[in-house]
Amino acid sequence: MTRHRESAAGSSFWQHPLLGSGTRALLAGVRDGGGVSVSRLPDLTAAVGSSVMRWPARILQKAIVRRRLARLGEPPPPIFLIGHWRSGTTHAYNVLSHDPQFIFPDPLAAGLPGEFMVMERFLRPHMSRLLPGDRWVDALAVNPDSPQEDEIALANLQPLSFVHAAYFPRRFRELLLRGVFFDGCSEAEIEGWKGSLRDYLRALWLARGEGTLLVKNPAHTARIGILRDLYPDARFIHLRRNPYDVFRSTLRFWRTMIDQFAWQDPRSVTDEVVEEVVLEVYARMMGKLLEARDHLPANRFVEVGLEEMEDAPLATVEQIYQTLEIDGLPKARPSLDRYLRSIQSYRKRSYTPDPRHVSMIQSRWAPFIEAWDYEVPA
């Protein structure tokens, strides 16, 4: 069996997402993940201490949200940007986030979801120094205003999250399936997750202005039914990509995440296990997506390919706005165009498909390859 070598570096403590956890969520996540390696005990101790010290700020933020919510009411239905990991959701998110009507989690709001409203004035001047220069998985730049996934916030508010699979790789498959599909979860756990999402998006909307929430999260691809229970009028943008590219890139994504953020030995999960879990999760996730898609109104769901987003980004954005009946594109177009010009030099990694992977993908993902008419990359 092939085992991955132990990471030589990993993230610094100050850049680990668990540093922003609430105390209960942190301890429950460690418990569910099977504990931490001895070498990570100082990190855990520091994270617990930091969480306890921030407790008054969390209490104050809850009071602020209650007061403002009573005055302003509930936020409008969000727009969810979905698609399997490495399908182009980040690129689409970065483009759409340049429309000023949208509100989205930034690094501070994602990293300290329970207290960002209170601590922002103290921490924002230091964010550039605390953040990594780019995302480890794809070298895209990160700055204090970069749009972030709400999953990082959810993982710090309660223990039910797929990112815990990277933090605690001994239970990689179990935590990933629980975090994406809620496998084996009680009704109380699922209701707790729903409450955390609802409360977080309320706080974000109240803190960032009364625009439309734009939320990007690959795991939401499998949660459309739950999200529609919470937000019946929510809209969904699905990004799809050649499954052969998705598989290869997702393997790299998980290995990078584990090496950087594991609080257990990264070698606890083998490459073979990661491959098998990626094959399993994609098939289940896409199956749920196609099933849910058939029950969505035409103006509540749009699907575009990463290839379209890269080749004709403004035309693709126009298609998204028209389908979902989003106003404001003429006003946003200059900002979108400036951003697109700024990334013209960015190039994705090239690779040669592994014949073994091609065979596995064709065997396990055939319905989706056929549905979207993709071929093995040349």
**Token duo for residue 65:** 């949200």
pTM: 0.91
Cα 321 from Cα 318, distance rounded (Å) = 5
**DSSP-assigned letter for residue 264:** S
**Residue reference for tokens 């390919």:** 305
Q: What's the helix, strand, coil split of the chain in %, to 5? A: 60, 5, 30
Cα 155 from Cα 22, distance rounded (Å) = 10
Which amino acid makes up residue 122?
A: F
The dihedral built from the CA positions of residue 235, 312, 93 and 13, taken in this order, carries a sign that is positive
The one-digit pLDDT tens for each residue of the chain (378 residues) are: 343 433 334 555 567 899 999 999 999 999 999 999 999 999 999 999 999 999 999 999 999 999 999 999 999 999 999 999 999 999 999 999 999 999 999 999 999 999 999 988 887 665 555 555 444 445 555 566 789 999 999 999 999 999 999 999 999 999 999 999 999 999 999 999 999 999 999 999 999 887 999 999 999 999 999 999 999 999 999 999 999 999 999 999 999 999 999 999 999 999 999 999 999 999 999 999 999 999 999 999 999 999 999 999 999 999 999 999 999 999 999 999 999 999 887 666 667 788 999 999 999 999 999 999 999 987
